[in-house]
Amino acid sequence: MYKLLRNILFLFPAESVHHFSMNALKFACKIGPIKKIIVSSFTYKSDSAVRKIFNLSFSNMVGLGAGFDKNALYLNELQCLGFGFVEIGTVTPLPQPGNDKPRLFRLKKDNALINRMGFNNDGVKVIAERLKKWNSRRSSDIGHRLIVGGNIGKNKITPNEDAWKDYETCFRELFDYVDYFVVNVSSPNTPGLRELQEKDALKKILGNLQTINHQQQSPKPLLLKIAPDLTWQQIDDVISLATEIQLSGLVVSNTTISRENLQISNDELQKIGAGGLSGAPLKTRSTEIVKYISQKTNNTIPVIASGGIFTSADAKEKLNAGASLIQVWTGFIYEGPAIVKKILSGL
């Protein structure tokens, strides 16, 4: 059924379809009987699915990666689809429109996407207020509590030497309204951002956040999201820093700038232009990094695995590599609203 609907939706621009589909789901979930049908159709209810990581209780291991619900507009609807957790953002201190459209592209032959969104979001103050309201009236009739992560970044206009201030602003503003934080220095779509993955720059950002975090009565889990394009030496530096600063975990991984082994033609790629590649082509590299980190640390640093997860077999591959939780994004687009239930049922 979804494949037929997907074929129709794929006739239209990707970003427009995204907003249309989620707004349609939002409308449907406002109608009581329809909401009940959606919840019963797409949620997987089992005590065996519960995962306790970072001192948080996740109703299941399948989450939705950052970039899908940038502005915390669809948390109730995503909860209805059975997600155990959702990462909002990337959130920046000031609102920003992101890069020029079109900026989201489907690579149908490759089960992939390319995006160069550019941290488009409503700004941290608006999003914090939205989360505050959602927390005060979050649905209790769905049967599980949705864990919400806050993915934070810097504004495009902020120079790298001042980036730590942007991360601090977002951390403080969102602290009372999210369950955990993810520091994003690995998007390829903000000029110069990936330079912040170097050890000294990272240490300044993460060390400052962790100092603030430990001053709070109940510190929040703090994670770092890394790029799949890092060298093994850079990954070793990340592991060393994560251990030193006592990060709660790592998200592996963000999108890649690689264009290797794609079925799409070079001419089509050139028409699309720059951006981060996600989906099936990222699966192998993401799994390699998860396995490397897990083995290098003896599983002492929990990993949320993201990249090329479409099926329960893909999820099992990540879990066998050492992941504690998994995130989907591109797989959600291609597999449809039943992806969480299909993965959990298959496991």
The residues that are catalytic are 187
Under DSSP, the state recorded for 56 is E
C-alpha 134/C-alpha 75 separation (Å) is 8
Instruction: Record the tokens describing residue 280, joined without a space.
Output: 């099936």
- Residues 92/121, Cβ–Cβ less than 8 Å: yes
Helix (H) or strand (E) holding 251, with range, is: strand 249-252
Nearest CA-CA partner of 163 in 195, 189, 188, 187: 195
C-alpha 64/C-alpha 339 separation (Å) is 11
C-alpha 19/C-alpha 16 separation (Å) is 5
Rg (CA), the chain: 19
Query: Which residues on adjacent β-strands are paired with residue 277?
Result: 114, 256
Distance of alpha carbon 78 from the chain centroid: 13
C-alpha 55/C-alpha 248 separation (Å) is 10
Nearest CA-CA partner of 216 in 278, 270, 172: 172
- Number of Cα atoms under 13 Å in the Cβ half of residue 173: 23
- Number of Cα atoms under 13 Å in the Cβ half of residue 266: 1
C-alpha separations of 163 from 96, 114, 196, 204 in Å? 16, 26, 9, 9
- Residues 5/341, Cβ–Cβ less than 8 Å: no
End-to-end CA distance of the chain: 23
Distance of alpha carbon 262 from the chain centroid: 23
